[in-house]
Structure 1
Amino acid sequence: MQKILNQKHSKETFLYTIMNTLERASYYGIRALFVIYMIGETLKMEHAKAFEVYGIFFISIIFSKIIGAVVGDLFIGNKKAIIIGGLIQALGAFSLCNPSIYGLYSGLFLISIGSGFFTTNLHSNFGKLYLEKLQLSDAGFTILYLSSNLGSFFGILLLGYLGEKYGYSIGFLATGFLTLLSIAPLLFIKEKSIHDKIIDNKISFKKRLQTIFITFSVVGLFWLFYELASVRNSDLIFQFSEISALNISRYLWNSLSAIFILPISLIAILLWTFFYINQISKLTLGLLFAILSLGILLFIPEIPLKEHVYIYIGSLLLFSISEILIAPVVQSTLTKYGNPKYLAILMSIISLPVRLFTFLLIPFKEELDNSIQLSFNVGLTGIIILTLGFISYTYFNSRKPKQTI
């Protein structure tokens, strides 16, 4: 651990954070509303069709991020891409106010394109703030990650309430204005020009490529295995919510992890603002906390009792620590080792590895879907093997002269 001297977060950090919070509140507010809207009295869509539309929308976001990043990095600049994305996303939210299938599909299409343009280019510009103070980048991206969680939490809470209380059109209208509001802080931010001289030429291209590949692979496999193991979490939430003695709604159960994220993020931000801990250490600790989080679930029987709720809450707390140790590291690693001229493009492919690794499980999909315990065991075992492999890799690599990440 090394003390960080004479470095601090800039006002632009907090302006971008405000933008991200507002846009994420709008985006997740829309996600909370439109499935219920589709199957409601207005459109009366069948449940299967509604979830199919939701799945297509979710996948389209992945590709729209890549398109938005390419346009921002190579053609119009990241700042203009953010503005255009915000305007398109707001237009999509307003289109949803038209109570028809046409309004639904055109609205979701525009929101997908707009969100893709907005998020990756914002993250790219945010990362560029730390090119000359890389030791602060983990703390910076933790601030941004916290803002995403706060935005999604309050967006679902507030916009969901508006939609249910005053009608879906009011909810969608509010999300549109919230997206427009998210662009406003950009007026106070001057975009810095990026030159090749910013890249640390002491690190070879091969080393940069290797570090980015390893980080993508480790984090991609981690989230893949965790998704497999998390079916146990979903099952426990359902069973705990059915225990009347606990008197806790299923909504609150689903929000517990978000509640833990706030204090843990604040502690991490303060710690990493004043002390530098290298990214390998953070990733390793994050993987170990994830193993502990899933491991203690083994002490909860298949049919849990109310006294087992404390074990489950402990598991959520440990995973929240793991998440904060792992999630921001990918973006800060790309900021350090990537070419800043193409940073948005790199940011846009963060979620691709886990989707690509998912194809490896297709032959076993039926067995995993039919057994919660099997899926959990595969997920936990996968994270254990991944952690041991990563520790072994970093140990043997540390014996060679090299740059640490």
Structure 2
Amino acid sequence: MSSEEYPINDQVSKHNIPYGARPTDVDSKHPRSLYMLFFTEMWERFSYYGMRALLTLYLITEVSAGGLGWSAADATQLYGIYTGLVYVTPVIGGYLADKYLGFRSAVFIGGIIIALGHGALAIEAMPSFYTGLGLLIIGTGFFKPNISSMVGQLYPEGSKLKDSAYTIFYMGINLGAFFGALICGYLGEKVGWHWGFGAAGIGMLLGLVQFYIGQNQLGSIGLKPAPVDKTKAVMPKEPLTKVERDRLIVILALSFFSILFWLAFEQAGSSMNIFAYKYTDRYIDFLDFEVPATWFQSVNSFFIFTLAPFFSMLWVFLSKKKLNPAGPYKFAIALVLLALGFVVLVVGASSIPKGAETAGVSMFWLVFAYMLHTMGELCLSPVGLSFVNKLSPLRLVGLMFGVWFGASAIGNYLGGALAGMIEYMSQTQTMSNFFLIFVSIAAVSALILFLFGKKLEKLMHGIK
């Protein structure tokens, strides 16, 4: 898209101020364009989490009931590959947008590809199914990193509003995830799987329409980047200082432990989804209603809404008292909470005998586990992003974010592989033993981090 398509005044263009905002307003209130990006992201996450809630269950459901009849091992393996690649392609999509496309064009391209992917999944044919997954992976790579980048560009350097803007934007992500699991999940389980996939695609189309209508609010933000004069380009080749090397060691260490966190946390869409579907009593007598298994995928988003303000106030309070834990310790706390969540499932599943195909475990156990896992996420995910940004040398920020998201990709893939053991272990041992695997991984990881926390804190050289 050319800049001529978006007539803006010189002052707005020069300072990247969104169209319709006065320069004096820039650091006093959020621009309208933030809320336009909020709803665009909300609808994209509606489509992603709506489809994610359905994928594993669709794969394991009998062919006679409209599913594909896969084993749990095969289904969760595919789930792990899909969710892993979703974290890899944004690195490529972000690079292409930075160098060639511009953020706006990348978001449009990504949104269209995502909508086409959901449309393909709505068709009952295996070639269409695999095509749909491939399109979703590619489309997310174009869409996800670039809409987030535009949020940051709405504000001048050093703006006090930037942190709260990302908080608002993060709420859009969770709002979309919450309703995506509820609406697409209900349609998929109660009406037909392909209806659920189709509803996810409609959500993405709605997001694209409102982005197209509201894009004039962005001013010059997100347009195609100007060509780089290669004769004047300077490539920094400064060697790393000892402080920089030490801080990079911390990023790599925390990235490794994030792999261990996500491989357990992401059981939500695979083994815990299967547990909800096959082994949980979801019937509410006084309502005469069976809760769809996919609805448990919205519990994490619900607890994000309710618990995030508490955690924000907690960190502020601890900072004032000079008791705020350093980053490595917050990661360790996250892993402890994750382990406790799986302890809840170990206890809840203890009544399921070896070899059982179904059971009627209370919904309480799953909800309680999701609450603890969400508390762990709030200790790790935002902290990790912040520390990658603070600890990375400016010339390596992009690379280190690639490392961070690469760790998430590995965690998702390994989590899918481990989730495939649920069927085998429920037949040969017990369901409790299966969940005990994740208790062990998370607990041992937390212990190691607590032991080496002081060393890692020293390597951060004063970064808080």
The one-letter amino acid of 2:443's match is: I
Aligned equivalent of 2:435, options 371, 376, 379: 376
Correspondence for 2:244: 205
Deviation at residue 211 of structure 1 after TM alignment? 2.7
Correspondence for 1:188: 217
Deviation at residue 241 of structure 1 after TM alignment? 0.9
Aligned equivalent of 2:302, options 244, 254, 259: 259
Partners of 2:258 and 2:154 lie apart in 1 by 24
The one-letter amino acid of 1:112's match is: I
Partners of 2:344 and 2:67 lie apart in 1 by 41
Contact 1:138 1:272 in 2 (8 A): no
Matched residue pairs, number?
A: 394
The one-letter amino acid of 2:335's match is: L
Aligned equivalent of 1:322, options 376, 380, 387: 376
Q: Does 1:150 align with 2:175?
A: yes
Larger radius of gyration between Structure 1 and Structure 2: 2
Partners of 2:68 and 2:378 lie apart in 1 by 38
Q: Does 1:29 align with 2:50?
A: yes
Contact 2:266 2:415 in 1 (8 A): no
Counterpart of 2:70 in 1: which secondary structure?
A: helix
Deviation at residue 213 of structure 1 after TM alignment? 0.9
The one-letter amino acid of 1:24's match is: R
Moved more, 322-331 or 171-180: 171-180
The one-letter amino acid of 2:70's match is: A
Alignment TM-score, normalising by the size of structure 2: 0.64
CA deviation digits over 1:155-214, x for unaligned, max 9? 233345667769849636623422413634554335489x999xxx99943134223212
Correspondence for 2:115: 90
Counterpart of 1:349 in 2: which secondary structure?
A: helix
Aligned equivalent of 1:48, options 55, 70, 77: 70
Identity of aligned residues (%): 23
Moved more, 345-354 or 210-219: 345-354
Alignment TM-score, normalising by the size of structure 1: 0.72
The one-letter amino acid of 1:352's match is: A
Deviation at residue 23 of structure 1 after TM alignment? 0.8
Correspondence for 1:70: 95
Unaligned runs of 5+ in 2: 1-26, 226-233, 353-358
CA deviation digits over 1:304-325, x for unaligned, max 9? 7999765664443333222222
Moved more, 95-104 or 173-182: 95-104
Partners of 2:345 and 2:291 lie apart in 1 by 21
The one-letter amino acid of 2:257's match is: V
Correspondence for 2:406: 349
Deviation at residue 146 of structure 1 after TM alignment? 3.8
Moved more, 123-132 or 65-74: 123-132
Contact 1:93 1:173 in 2 (8 A): yes
Partners of 1:358 and 1:33 lie apart in 2 by 17
> How do 1:4-403 residues align onto structure 2 when only pairs under 5 Å count?
10-11=30-31, 14-31=35-52, 46-48=68-70, 51=75, 57-94=82-119, 104-126=129-151, 143-159=168-184, 168=195, 171=199, 174-181=202-209, 183-184=211-212, 186-189=215-218, 190-191=220-221, 204-226=243-265, 231=271, 235=275, 238-241=278-281, 249-251=291-293, 252-268=295-311, 279-297=327-345, 299-300=347-348, 302-303=350-351, 313-338=367-392, 339-340=396-397, 345-346=402-403, 348-355=405-412, 370-371=428-429, 372-398=431-457, 402-403=461-462
CA deviation digits over 1:48-86, x for unaligned, max 9? 399587666545434433332332344434443223212
Moved more, 111-120 or 240-249: 240-249
Partners of 1:365 and 1:312 lie apart in 2 by 16
Moved more, 84-93 or 141-150: 141-150
Moved more, 153-162 or 371-380: 153-162
Counterpart of 1:351 in 2: which secondary structure?
A: helix
The one-letter amino acid of 1:67's match is: I
Partners of 2:424 and 2:57 lie apart in 1 by 30
Unaligned runs of 5+ in 1: 1-6
CA deviation digits over 1:347-376, x for unaligned, max 9? 6424234157669979x9997675433332
Deviation at residue 261 of structure 1 after TM alignment? 2.6
The one-letter amino acid of 2:408's match is: S
